[in-house]
Structure 1
Amino acid sequence: MAVTDKDIADLVARAADANAALMRGDVEGYFALISLADDFTLMSPFGGPPSRGFDMSSDRVAALGRFFRAGRTALELVQAYASGDMAVLAVIERQTAEVGGLPDQDWSLRVTLVFRRDGTEWRLVHRHADALVHGISLDQAAAIARGEAELHSRPGGQA
């Protein structure tokens, strides 16, 4: 079954609504809209190795809900790609929020979402996000790539 324009529009709308819920700290609302595949991978905007799977324990979900607060969001579709039972959304999540105890600020991300159709349901199989919506210099990028950028660690291990 080919991916239709309606499938893409529905995925974009669900991704926008889910992200809005997450940035308000409504993790249950996020997961009501987005179903993760068993083989889900995440490349978080904080860097480090990709994670596989997702800890859906009540403690982890509650902690995630406390991490995001007071978010206001808009999702900008950059490009959508589809083939077979796969759909890829390249988006910019334009948002402000209180994240990890930091004050309300711009928290916009460049994001790639990969969905796979499983029967009649679309499951998120991969999310890659980075905070490079505002460009950086070659020297800054090189320092980050070398692991030499000055990053101040925050409690809980988040940079």
Structure 2
Amino acid sequence: MSPFKNKTSLGDDEPVRESKSISRRAALAMAIAATGRVAHAAPTSDQALPDIISRTEQQAAAFMAGDMTRWASLIRLDDDFTLMQPFGGPASHGFDDSPERLAELARFFRNGGGTLEVEKSYVSGDLIVLVMIERQHGEVGGLPDQNWSLRVTQVYRRHGSDWRLAHRHADPLVGKISLEQAAALARGE
């Protein structure tokens, strides 16, 4: 019998390979024998996927509403988190989650909300990748409420029983643009 079994990620028809681990079962048995208690293993990535999707949607809505305290409580950012912002420019590394920075973000993003459309999800071992459209609106940077929908890819990495956001790439190109418009953007115009 193969040490792999076929699994499908939520809503996908393509198989994702996941290894079975005899050593994991052995470690669990040893922990029970040593402590007399049942040890609870961290959920596998495919078990964690529905919760990650739900928290990601809540996080996006909280961000657009300017509720940064709730946003920060929903999903922890990894220590080496990278962000490719929808406003362009170089990727940023790390994140300042100080109360002052969260208050600044709360003033910049206000009175909005949104939902997710998950286009594709990938689960493999200690990684989860979501490819999605954030359908959202809000007041951003003092501009009146408007559509701020984004195409987004997010990568989550497992740390023990915790899942942390390791990478986010977002852009506002939800609607199709012409070659000329794309060329102008590429030129920085």
Q: If the length of structure 2 is used for normalisation, what is the TM-score?
A: 0.76
Residue of structure 2 in register with 1:101 after alignment? 142
Which of 33, 36, 45 is matched with 1:3 structurally?
45
Residue of structure 1 in register with 2:88 after alignment? 47
Runs of 4+ in 1 over 2 A off after TM superposition: none
Question: How many angstroms does 1:72 deviate by?
Answer: 2.2
> Equivalent residues in 2 for 1:78-117 (5 A)?
78-117=119-158
Letter in 1 for 2:153: T
Question: How many angstroms does 1:110 deviate by?
Answer: 0.5
Which of 27, 41, 51 is matched with 2:68 structurally?
27
Q: If the length of structure 1 is used for normalisation, what is the TM-score?
A: 0.89
User: CA separation in 2, counterparts of 1:143 and 1:131?
Assistant: 15
User: CA separation in 2, counterparts of 1:36 and 1:105?
Assistant: 27
2:60 touches 2:113 (CA, 8 Å); kept in 1?
no
Structure 1 gap ranges (5+): 150-159
User: CA separation in 1, counterparts of 2:64 and 2:185?
Assistant: 26
Question: How many angstroms does 1:143 deviate by?
Answer: 1.2
Residue of structure 2 in register with 1:17 after alignment? 58
Which of 110, 113, 122 is matched with 1:69 structurally?
110
Q: Secondary structure at the match of 1:133?
A: coil
State the percentage of identical aligned residues.
57
Residue of structure 1 in register with 2:28 after alignment? none
Question: How many angstroms does 1:2 deviate by?
Answer: 4.1
Residue of structure 1 in register with 2:13 after alignment? none
Residue of structure 2 in register with 1:136 after alignment? 177
Q: CA RMSD in A?
A: 1.0
Question: How many angstroms does 1:96 deviate by?
Answer: 1.1
> What count of residue pairs does the alignment treat as equivalent?
147
Q: Secondary structure at the match of 1:122?
A: strand
Which structure's CA Rg is the greater one?
2
Structure 2 gap ranges (5+): 1-42
Question: How many angstroms does 1:69 deviate by?
Answer: 0.8
